[in-house]
Amino acid sequence: MVYLEERKIGGKTYYYIVRNVRAGKNKWRKETEYFGTKKPSNKDIVEFSKRTEKVSIKYLSKEQLNLLNKLKTRYKDYLSKLTEHDFVQFEDATITSFTYNTNAIEGSTLTLQDTGIILNEKITPPGKELREIYGAINIKNAYNYMKKMKNITESTIKKIHSIVMKNILEQELGECRTVPVRIIGSYVQPPLPIDVENQMKELLEWYNKNKNMHPFELACLLHVKFEKIHPFIDGNGRVGRLIMNFVLLKNKYPLLDVKVDKKLDYYKTLENAQIRRKYRDFIDFSLSIYEKDAKSMGWI
């Protein structure tokens, strides 16, 4: 059952669309979407009903669901108020931050300022290796390609890899690796080359069968599973963070920008999910990044 709920706080009326969902024998939970002081239209209610009708939620708590719903709504409202010029600036800042962090996690020495002038002013900072310059340009190009994708497939993943590693990787560009690899500092052992193609096929089958999963859970688990396969000889982390964000952006959530200063927590929770199946730890970690960024933007 879907219905409109009004809550009066401090003299103002706040609106929520609510669905009661069975969570077991004689147990129910509420799924809500926050609309602020703007009363939802009938179209909003119908769209919410369609989105939540078959959504499977396994790891997110009620509080986390409410947080994500509020964040999504506030993000949508924020974008709707931007002028075309302001939107371009917001998008440039978003891509610059993501490019800086995703490359810094992999060891790039480019600063945020370096990344900004490379991407937005087309200026090459002195004393930087071409590999790092290409790395920044490639992430922006791969991000733009990812945003236009219709779905995640074997070909789109390989295309992202070919863009991310252009002018950096000399062999097996856009192709699954043909040699064994190890993840430095991790107990995770990726599959042998002979098993990579089959495991990638299984991953895509899993993804397509689980699209009814909550988008945030789906994005996080997809990332965990992809990184465990480590299908490419290099560039797996950057590709993985891009396809994780495809799921989020496709479902109208903001981009998830894993910060380099959280690198150790990122690796730890990722490994716990891959080895011990502690998926909730990685989801909690990812949501903490979302929450901090949303607060800095005034979305929650």
Q: How many CB atoms lie within 10 A of CB 33?
A: 23
Q: Are 174 and 162 in contact (CB under 8 A)?
A: yes
Widest pairwise Cα distance in the chain: 66
Q: Just list the catalytic residues.
A: 230
pLDDT in tens, the chain (300 residues): 788 888 888 788 888 888 776 555 566 667 777 788 888 888 887 777 766 666 889 999 999 999 999 999 999 999 999 999 999 999 999 999 999 999 999 999 999 999 999 999 999 999 999 999 999 999 999 999 999 999 999 999 999 999 999 999 989 999 999 999 988 888 899 999 999 999 999 999 999 999 999 999 999 999 999 999 999 999 999 999 999 999 999 999 999 999 999 999 999 999 999 999 999 999 999 999 999 999 999 998
Domains of the chain (ranges plus CATH)? Answer: 2-53 (no CATH), 84-297 (1.10.3290.10)
Q: Are 169 and 233 in contact (CB under 8 A)?
A: yes
Q: Are 15 and 6 in contact (CB under 8 A)?
A: yes
List all residues 6 or more positions away from 151 whose beta carbon is below 8 Å from its beta carbon.
Answer: none
Predicted TM-score (pTM) of this structure = 0.84
